[in-house]
Chain A
Amino acid sequence: QVQLQESGPGLVKPSGTLSLTCAVSGGSISSSNWWSWVRQPPGKGLEWIGEIYHSGSTNYNPSLKSRVTISVDKSKNQFSLKLSSVTAADTAVYYCARIEAVAGIYPWGQGTLVTVSS
């Protein structure tokens, strides 16, 4: 079965760029699915960041669009998130997940906490 695993620095300085990668195993990133990033600030709710198709097509949350880039690397079966000009408000657990068309978001990665602090 498909599994996802996030990786990347757990600490990013203010005004810097947050960079995370999601490795997909047990399936191909070139399947007919979108691949998504979702975040959750400590003690708060879930926020959809954006998603990508293996062709490179993307959809982003307008609230983050000016700072977000999601890319895909089919050769490594992974996709990535970059969030620029980060502030403390970007401190959150970041999840990657697969989107099944009209069938919800699953599976999810375990999540990785990114703290923005100097």
Chain B
Amino acid sequence: AIQMTQSPSSLSASVGDRVTITCRASQGIRNDLGWYQQKPGKAPKLLIYAASSLQSGVPSRFSGSGSGTDFTLTISSLQPEDFATYYCLQDYNYPRTFGQGTKLEIK
């Protein structure tokens, strides 16, 4: 199975900050990667698909980049509602595998 490694595991930041989360795949996955946001007690929400395509309705402050093994999720200017846990997911092959998550907390 492809292993997805996210970094950092947790991150403290302030409203207005620019934040970058990284996801590394144990082998090349083209651009078959999505980013998900999860708030406590809620289901995950798709933010980015195909590494860099913004899901409909998601604010433009979220962006994704990367291909092959290295990917990033960037939030250009943190808003209070962005404090959550973020997961990457590869859908290049089976089994689909998630990163371990990055918890974004308020500084």
Which A residues are closer than 8 A to B by beta carbons? Answer: 38, 45-48, 59-63, 95, 97, 99-100, 102-106, 108-111
Report yes or no: A46 in contact with B44, Cβ–Cβ below 8 A: yes
Which B residues are closer than 8 A to A by beta carbons? Answer: 1, 32, 34, 36, 38, 42-46, 48-50, 53, 55, 87, 89, 91, 94-101
Report yes or no: A61 in contact with B32, Cβ–Cβ below 8 A: no
Q: Given A45-B101, A46-B87, A62-B1: A103 and B49 within 8 A (CB)?
A: yes
Give the docked Cα–Cα distance between A61 and B2 (Å): 12
Report yes or no: B43 in contact with A108, Cβ–Cβ below 8 A: yes
Give the docked Cα–Cα distance between A106 and B91 (Å): 13
Contact of B44 among A59, A61, A100, A108 (CB under 8 A): A108
Contact of B100 among A45, A95, A109 (CB under 8 A): A45
Write out the residue numbers on chain A whose beta carbons fall within 8 Å of the beta carbon of B44. 38, 46, 95, 105, 108
Give the docked Cα–Cα distance between A17 and B91 (Å): 28
Report yes or no: A111 in contact with B43, Cβ–Cβ below 8 A: yes
Report yes or no: A59 in contact with B94, Cβ–Cβ below 8 A: yes
Report yes or no: A48 in contact with B43, Cβ–Cβ below 8 A: no
Contacts A/B (CB < 8 Å), 17 sampled: A45-B101, A46-B36, A46-B87, A47-B98, A60-B95, A61-B95, A62-B1, A63-B95, A97-B43, A100-B49, A102-B50, A104-B55, A104-B89, A105-B36, A105-B44, A105-B89, A109-B43
Report yes or no: B49 in contact with A45, Cβ–Cβ below 8 A: no
- Closest Cβ neighbor of A47 among chain B residues: B98
Q: Given A62-B1, A102-B32: A46 and B98 within 8 A (CB)?
A: yes
Q: Given A45-B101, A61-B95: A106 and B1 within 8 A (CB)?
A: no
Give the docked Cα–Cα distance between A32 and B94 (Å): 19
Report yes or no: B46 in contact with A104, Cβ–Cβ below 8 A: yes
Give the docked Cα–Cα distance between A99 and B89 (Å): 12
Give the docked Cα–Cα distance between A63 and B96 (Å): 12
In the assembled complex, the CB of B100 is this many whole angstroms from the nearest CB of chain A, namely 5
